[in-house]
Amino acid sequence: MKIHLIGIGGIGVSALAQYYLSKGHKVSGSDLVASEITDFLKEKGIKIFIGNYAKNIEKDFDLVVYSPAVPKNNPELLQATHYKLQTKSYPEALGDLTKEYYTIAVAGAHGKSTTVSMIALALTKAGLDPTVIVGTKIKEFGNSNFRFGSSLTNFALKGLDNKGKLKNIAKLVRDKSKLLVIEACEYDSSFLHYSPKIIVITNVDKEHLDYFKTFANVKKAFKNFIACLAEAKSEGGCDSFLVFNRDDRNIPRFAKPKFKAIGYSAKQKEFVKIKKILKVPGQHNALNALAVLQVARILGIPDKITFQSLSEFKGTWRRFEIIQPKIEKFKNLKIISDYAHHPNEISATLNAAREKYKNKTIWCIFQPHQHQRTHYLFNDFVKIFRNVPIDKIIIADIYDVAGRETKTINREVNSEKLVKKINKKSVSYCATENLVKEIKENIKSGDVLIIMGAGDIYKLADKF
């Protein structure tokens, strides 16, 4: 097959592109700008176009997949329609994939990528061979956001006969001979296209309000997603499972669920042990690890294997990622790159940083992500930045997201207004182009610098 992907530089779409390539298809794709991801895909043999042009679409394409961020008037999408080619959104294409596998889908406002990564590594540690599509890069998978797995019938579980307690994975999966672990995003209700057998919900929060408008709509979407488990029982009678954070009151509850609901909590005995063995800091990461433990138990993986895997987990790209400075002057500066862009993510990350670096001077440079998110969560940002235990916070200009902004809101909110409303001496504004100068003039050797945001702020670390 010849498959073309519009928005191929996106973290999810790029993983799907690699899946198609691994299956032997001829793959091409386009994006508005070149990036680390497009360069990576090009090296793998995928034909990359920079810019969206009708000429990129060929009449003999079997399938054109497009990112949810791609507008309806995109020239490539219009050309594909003109040629009467088969087109599918990324969630629709991934949804088709979930029907071919025994799928484990991780959803939640925060912690999806880390939890998927932890699950994937636990499964591989146990001798399984999952296909993985995740919204971050995993060091153990060649610094990729994708892993191609094999059929369960091609290998045996080695050394996992835990005195007869091990479940028969092949029997559990039955006619679904493969395992797929995916990140299930709620934006645009994307996850409603998926057909998982195991759903993990890490938390439900006020996220993607540019699409949902109200928190009530967010919770309704998650309820609808969980409800799909009632339809997930296979012809062979294999059970479906919900693994959920019992401490989160926003996760929908079902009175008489037609699936097995398994909760996890910071109150359970394994929490303290997990927090001690994890290399990644913070209570939120320990809770993510508890979710992994429950999934592993469903699949019959002994706790010993899971704990060992969790203790070896080194974290992922831009999730409390520690970067070693290259400039001699800053060799003793601790730089941390983090993807957090929602107020609750910011709070969790910065509190984890203070817990880890108790006596250090901690700086945070934050790039707000998208004007609409900043608008909808303005008061939450104000509250968080007034209360986090960080010595100095610098807020840079807001990162624009193509196809996700409105001119009205663009005029209403900016970083300077946010800093003024926070009204705290330790919080200041700095234009993005002046950040390097600000750091070099003020940060001292031995300090901790957290570079935070979901946009291109991570490139700042390359300057050091």
How do residues 376-399 score in pLDDT, each as one tens digit? 899 999 999 999 999 999 999 999
Residue 64 sits in the same domain as residue 183: no
Residue 167 sits in the same domain as residue 267: yes
- Tell me the average pLDDT across 196-202: 96
The pLDDT score that the predictor gives to residue 256 is 80
Residue 244 sits in the same domain as residue 149: yes
Does any domain span residue 42?
yes
The pLDDT score that the predictor gives to residue 174 is 45
Domain count, the chain: 3
Residue 122 sits in the same domain as residue 239: yes
Picking from 31, 57, 89, the residue at the C-terminal end of a domain is 89
Residue 76 sits in the same domain as residue 114: no
Q: Residue 331 phi/psi, 5° resolution?
A: -65, -25
Can you give the CATH number for the domain in which 347 is found?
Answer: 3.90.190.20
How do residues 28-72 score in pLDDT, each as one tens digit? 999 999 988 999 999 999 999 999 999 999 999 999 999 988 999
The pLDDT score that the predictor gives to residue 6 is 98
Residue 180 sits in the same domain as residue 49: no
Q: Distance between CA 66 and CA 434 in Å, rounded?
A: 36
Does any domain span residue 62?
yes
Picking from 89, 109, 127, the residue at the C-terminal end of a domain is 89
Q: Distance between CA 190 and CA 103 in Å, rounded?
A: 15
Residue 101 has pLDDT above 80, yes or no: yes
How do residues 250-273 score in pLDDT, each as one tens digit? 999 887 888 899 999 999 999 999
Sheet holding 102-107, edge to edge: 144-147, 131-138, 179-183, 102-107, 198-201, 241-245, 260-264
Return the H-helix or E-strand segment holding 172.
helix 169-173
Size (the chain), residues:
464
Does any domain span residue 429?
yes
Does any domain span residue 94?
no
Residue 203 sits in the same domain as residue 120: yes
Does any domain span residue 274?
yes
- Tell me the average pLDDT across 127-135: 90
Work out the pLDDT band at 162, boundaries 50, 70, 90: very low
Residue 265 sits in the same domain as residue 350: no
Residue 418 has pLDDT above 90, yes or no: yes
Can you give the CATH number for the domain in which 83 is found?
Answer: 3.40.50.720
- Tell me the average pLDDT across 389-410: 79
Q: Distance between CA 130 and CA 299 in Å, rounded?
A: 12
Work out the pLDDT band at 232, boundaries 50, 70, 90: low
Residue 402 has pLDDT above 70, yes or no: no
The pLDDT score that the predictor gives to residue 257 is 83
Work out the pLDDT band at 447, boundaries 50, 70, 90: very high
Does any domain span residue 8?
yes
Work out the pLDDT band at 173, boundaries 50, 70, 90: low
Reported pTM? 0.82
Q: Distance between CA 382 and CA 114 in Å, rounded?
A: 26
Picking from 40, 55, 89, the residue at the C-terminal end of a domain is 89
Can you give the CATH number for the domain in which 263 is found?
Answer: 3.40.1190.10
Q: Distance between CA 184 and CA 192 in Å, rounded?
A: 9
Residue 153 sits in the same domain as residue 244: yes
Residue 222 sits in the same domain as residue 349: no
Residue 170 has pLDDT above 90, yes or no: no
Q: Which domain holds residue 357?
A: 321-463
Residue 292 sits in the same domain as residue 347: no
Does any domain span residue 403?
yes
Residue 84 sits in the same domain as residue 124: no
Does any domain span residue 349?
yes
Q: How far is CA 436 from CA 49, 98, 203, 329, 451, in A?
A: 31, 44, 35, 14, 12
Residue 310 has pLDDT above 90, yes or no: yes
Q: Distance between CA 35 and CA 48 in Å, rounded?
A: 11
Residue 419 has pLDDT above 80, yes or no: yes
Reading the block at residue 228, the tokens are 């799909």
